[in-house]
Amino acid sequence: MARSALLNVMVQAALKAGKSLSRDFGEVQNLQVSVKGPGDFVSQADFRAEKIVREELLKARPTYGFLGEEGEEIKGTDGAHRWIVDPLDGTTNFLHGIPQFAVSIALERNGEIVAGVIFNPATDELYTTEKGGGAFLNDRRIRVGARKVLSDCVIGCGVPHLGRGQHGKFLIELRHVMGEVSGVRRMGAAALDLAYVAAGRLDGFWEAQLNAWDIAAGILLIKEAGGFVSDMKGGQEMFENGTVLAGNEYIRKALEEVVNRPVPQA
């Protein structure tokens, strides 16, 4: 695949941060860990990775804005462009030695995501995409799954944990989905879950209480892989309300209907 200069910058930043994360992953028991909130850990690995990504991106495009999980937002003088970065998506997996985590980088132009990179250094899998240019895994073009009925599908989800509300609401959604699908998976890294939808590994995905940096790159990856992404109500306010629902044309729509199914009254 031919990459633009900007996508090459993003790839190099992700690979460099990934090397840092790989070293820390090998020393996971020795990491200095602080508690950011109940059940929400942040490590020195997060900060190191974000510093690397920020420096690499802003060195290449110093006028662009920067929104990352671990630091304050940088307002760029450019006005039109902003990097949206999660330096370590799947922090809890990382700290428990589970190799399901990633660096996620997206480029926003005038409010629209135009490029994305998701890199899992533990598996050496690099997902890349540009608007109008398709979606790729290690330079191999990927497409969303072709299944058309939920009963054939494996669906990914996020599960609210300690410190996150709406446990009861999620359990209702899960009960509805469980009765319709072949399997449900919770892997613990939303960026990779979306990448898996783009690659056809998961047929669909839904989650609430997400941030822009969790989903920005994955949203474009799915669209460029021929898929569809919406918020939980079928709209396009994923960043505004922190919800996401994804799949191919048929599965996204069917999943939307199931997760929003009314609870039967006793």
152 is in an annotated binding site: no
Q: Please, are residues 148 and 33 in contact by the beta-carbon 8 Å criterion?
A: no
Q: Are strands 183-185 and 102-109 parallel, antiparallel or unpaired?
A: unpaired
Query: From the centroid of its chain, how far is CA 261?
Result: 25
Q: How far apart are CA 200 and CA 202, in angstroms?
A: 5
Q: What's the mean pLDDT when you consider all of the chain?
A: 93
| pLDDT the model gives residue 263 | 75
Across the range 171-195, mean pLDDT stands at 97
Confidence of residue 2 (pLDDT cuts 50, 70, 90): confident
pLDDT tens string 210-242: 999 999 999 999 999 999 999 999 999 999 999
89 is in an annotated binding site: yes
pTM of the model: 0.94
Across the range 161-183, mean pLDDT stands at 91
Domain 3-139 is in which class?
A: alpha beta
69 is in an annotated binding site: yes
One-letter amino acid identity for 61? R
Under DSSP, is residue 190 helix (H, G, I), strand (E, B) or coil? helix
In this predicted structure, the answer to whether residue 66 has a pLDDT above a threshold of 70 is: yes
pLDDT tens string 19-53: 999 998 888 766 667 766 655 666 788 999 999 99
Across the range 110-124, mean pLDDT stands at 97
| pLDDT the model gives residue 231 | 97
One-letter amino acid identity for 96? H
User: Considering the domain 148-258, what is its CATH architecture?
Assistant: 3-Layer(aba) Sandwich (3.40)
214 is in an annotated binding site: yes
The count of other CB atoms within 10 Å of the CB of residue 44 is 12
Q: Is 110 exposed, middle or buried (0-12, 13-18, 19+ CB in 10 A)?
A: exposed
Range with the poorest average pLDDT among 33-42, 186-195, 199-208, 250-259: 33-42
| pLDDT the model gives residue 106 | 98
Name the residue ranges covered by the structural domains of the chain: 3-139, 148-258
Confidence of residue 115 (pLDDT cuts 50, 70, 90): very high
